Amino acid sequence: MHEKILILDFGSQYTQLIARRVRELNIYCEIHPWNKCPELTADIKGVILSGSPFSVRDEKSPKPDLSEIKGKMPLLGVCFGAQFLAHNFGGEVLPSSIREYGRANLSYVDADNVLTQGLTIGSQVWMSHGDTIKSIPDNYKIIASTADVEVAGYAIEGEQTFGIQFHPEVYHSLEGTKLLKNFLVDVCGCKQDWTPLSFVEETVKELREKIGTDKVILGLSGGVDSSVAAVLLHKAIGENLHCIFVDNGLLRKNEFESVLDSYKDMGLNVKGVDASLLFYTELAGVTDPELKRKAIGKVFVDVFDAESKKVEDAKWLGQGTIYPDVIESVSVSGGPSQTIKSHHNVGGLPDYMKLKVVEPLKLLFKDEVRRIGRSLEIDENILGRHPFPGPGLGIRILGDVTAEKVAILQEVDHIFISALKEDGLYDDVWQAGAIFLPIQSVGVMGDERTYENAVALRAVTSTDGMTADWCHLPYEFLAKVSNKIINQVKGINRVTYDISSKPPATIEWE
């Protein structure tokens, strides 16, 4: 068993960021709900308690049983976790007298404590809490403070237990990674050996043991996730992997042909299936975003069910599901996080489809998937490709989906993406695309009044899709693209640019 860190989730928006920071230090970790703590096996080197939207003073707040953890193995409480360890073991937590959100600076650091060694006075940290720790038990020692928060960090004497009020996992905590490394390496004794190569070796071995000589059907999209999943499965089971690329009629311009071509030299067994008519029929008149996703998912499953019957003795359906898909679709491992939207490849299969699901990437973030892909020597044109949603242009057309709207949006998207590549901006953008808006607006073309459609362009920067900011593309570039779209795409007379971040918006509009 590979050594790992256990993160107990109390519902914080930052829990997944804790996991990413731990992974960036080449240490494997898992997130579990606070009330579904797994067995504390020998491979667990330490435990981190996350933040929470709850107050420890609330009767309905999480109350984990730490009797087998606290004092028996390394433990770090972050924000709510730190307050819980203070409030429930003899300290006092009260409502903050001032708002404690955003940037703060360390005014005191215990240079001799293992957790805070190497941190500097004045270093910026990120606060996000409505309560504050007013007093700590006698055997607790303050190891960090800010101007407004005296107990910004503490250590329990005689234990490997620590609490910090700020969020080291957030980039705004400039020395947060240093603090986490102190805990993970110096306190927990982690070896930092969870690398792309080790992941590949362990995953291929697990896949061989799990699948054996069974046949697997995998849906390919041409994107990073499905490509990496396919290569991992191919390394494990070879020709028993049968890849299928479905044309749902919602792909980008010429994507069906180009994706099939891109896999020719990868040694994968790939079959292309044109099912666009089935998708258009199922989507006719559907306008609700969730119903569209479900309709697309239904046809996707139906097509795979039909194709699976053509592969004799197929037992498994492989999917490129990654961690953010799972997090946004369902609570992490059944935890308290709120559902934001459903994903077409998350949540299992209907009873009539007699295939088991295998998801080799479901605990990886997007940047980790790319690192794995590079270790597998997958073409950089595939690894560097922007994420593209499984439901495709179906969720970039607001309102009902028609073949005519798809054709218009394909042209708009092609102009936008091509221009990003031509101007050397493509790799500066994490994800980009065009949105067909459900409105028409008045325009003037050749001295004639027009009343045509509007589109929005969307480009964001991100590392994992959990948070994102809009790209500050040059005005000159946007002007050029807008002019080209309006001049070349019949039916469009207005172009807008989306400057919303995630949160509060999402990357896709639906």
Active site residues: 79, 167, 169
Terminal-residue alpha carbon distance, the chain: 40
Please report, for residues 136, 436, 460, the alpha-carbon distance to residue 411 in angstroms, rounded to integers and kept in the order given: 62, 11, 20
Q: CA 330 to CA 343: how far, in whole Å?
A: 9
Q: Give 344-373 as a DSSP string.
A: TTSS---TTS--EEE-TTTT--HHHHHHHH
Q: CA 479 to CA 222: how far, in whole Å?
A: 30
Q: Report the C-alpha dihedral over residues 362, 364, 368, 369, rounded to 10 degrees.
A: 0
Q: Which of 40, 45, 81, 90 is nearest to 63 (CA)?
A: 81
Q: Which of 508, 499, 501 is nearest to 340 (CA)?
A: 508
Three-state DSSP class for residue 238 = helix
Q: What share of the chain is helix, strand, coil (3-state, %, to 5)?
A: 35, 25, 40
The partner residues of 318 in beta bridges, in order of sequence, read 218, 358
Q: Give 50-114 as a DSSP string.
A: ---SS-TTSTTS-----TTTTTTS-EEEETHHHHHHHHTTT-EEEEEEEEEEEEEEEEEE-TTST
The partner residues of 457 in beta bridges, in order of sequence, read 434, 497
Please report, for residues 413, 440, 456, the alpha-carbon distance to residue 445 in angstroms, rounded to integers and kept in the order given: 22, 15, 20
Say which amino acid occupies 418.
S
- The separation between CA 259 and the C-alpha centre of its own chain, rounded to angstroms, equals 24
Beta-carbon contacts of 88 under 8 Å, excluding residues fewer than 6 positions away, are 56, 63
Q: CA 15 to CA 491: how far, in whole Å?
A: 45
* Tokens found for residue 303: 């097509």
Beta-carbon contacts of 339 under 8 Å, excluding residues fewer than 6 positions away, are 328, 329, 330, 331
- H-state helical runs in 186-263: 196-211, 224-237, 255-262
